[in-house]
Amino acid sequence: MMRLSLRLLLTLFLAGVGPALAQDPGTLDKEPLPPLDHPDSPSTPAKELFARKTKPVPLAARSIGFYSSGCLAGAVALPINGPTWQVMRLSRNRNWGHSKLVAFLERLAEKAKKVGWNGLLVGDMSQPRGGPMLSGHASHQVGLDADIWLTPMPDRKLSSEEREFMSAAEMVREDRLDIDPSVWTHERTELIRTAAEDPDVERIFVNAAIKKALCREAGSDRGWLAKVRPWWGHDYHFHVRIYCPADSPECKPQPPPEPGDGCGHELDYWFSDEVLHPAPPTEPAKPKPSLTMANLPAACRQVLMAP
Ligand SMILES: [Zn+2]
């Protein structure tokens, strides 16, 4: 059960983030997952198997497969406290990645200071062995994706409670057509620009309203905008994806983004009625079938089974 202190609850309430939390809270009482009845059954969802692996495979670093169907050997953890970053939601044990991703985050955290950003609050990266997750993401499976909050790190070490329950600020205006000018600041544009300019970065995903703000604020140097793509959600954090590392021949790259800054008419779709006010479904949506081990590269079975 959650042991949320009254003081923290009150703080959250006064901050106006009471019921509509911008993202899932964690927990201070993490229980290990119960063993599976049929772990070897071919129909067992791979997310159930990977979620039960609490330690990485101590092999050379290797990202295997595609961002949304793969796994990770030789993961390293981003330390939960750094000079200019802190990891959030520690109970999820998702601060794992390929060493290239960890190095990127440490580099960005330092560069961020120079554009007026106090430090990074880092959300989900990958599980210790990558793979699909029980909650949250379709990607983040090969240790090359990370979510970074659009709320700056405060000047103190956050408590365990804050790391589980603190909510990031919503950046998008209520009508979803633009950012909320009362929370958005230009440092956020410079932070995302700094990330996009890193040569290891392949893509960055943000809400379309945030992309619109970046387009407006970018000025004449616009090359970096091509990597920054609009996507659903991503209204309180941005998602950074790095390229397949050279040590990972089984890593499948994503095709390069369309050339151009992606501003202007390319954004219209995201502000159309069908996206902003979708018609209620006529029949309940069928749940998507979960990935099984057969849907992942064969090498992921070794990663899963390794001691
Ligand atoms: Zn993400």
pLDDT at 20: 36
> What was the pLDDT predicted at 282?
85
Which pLDDT does position 307 carry in this prediction?
A: 93
Ligand 1 being an ion, which residues bring their Cβ within 5 A of it?
Answer: 147, 239
Please state the three-class secondary structure of 16-53 as a single string.
CCCCCCCCCCCCCCCCCCCCCCCCCCCCCEHHHHHHCC
Chain segment 7-54, per-residue pLDDT in tens? 444 333 333 333 334 478 999 988 899 999 999 999 999 999 999 999
The C-alpha R_g of the chain, in whole angstroms, comes to 20
pLDDT value of position 284? 82
The secondary element (H helix, E strand) that includes residue 69 is strand 69-73
Residue-level pLDDT at 286: 82
CA 3 to centroid of ligand 1, rounded, Å = 27
pLDDT of residue 298: 98
What pLDDT is stored for residue 285 in this prediction? 80
Q: pTM for the whole thing?
A: 0.90
Residue-wise pLDDT for 163-190, tens only, equals: 999 999 999 999 999 999 999 999 999 9
Spacing, Cα 35 to ligand 1 middle (Å): 28
Cα of 84 vs centre of ligand 1, distance in Å, is: 20
The residue assigned the tokens 């499976």 is 141
With a cut of 70, list the residues of the chain below it in pLDDT. Answer: 1-22
Distance in Å, CA 138 to ligand 1 centroid: 8
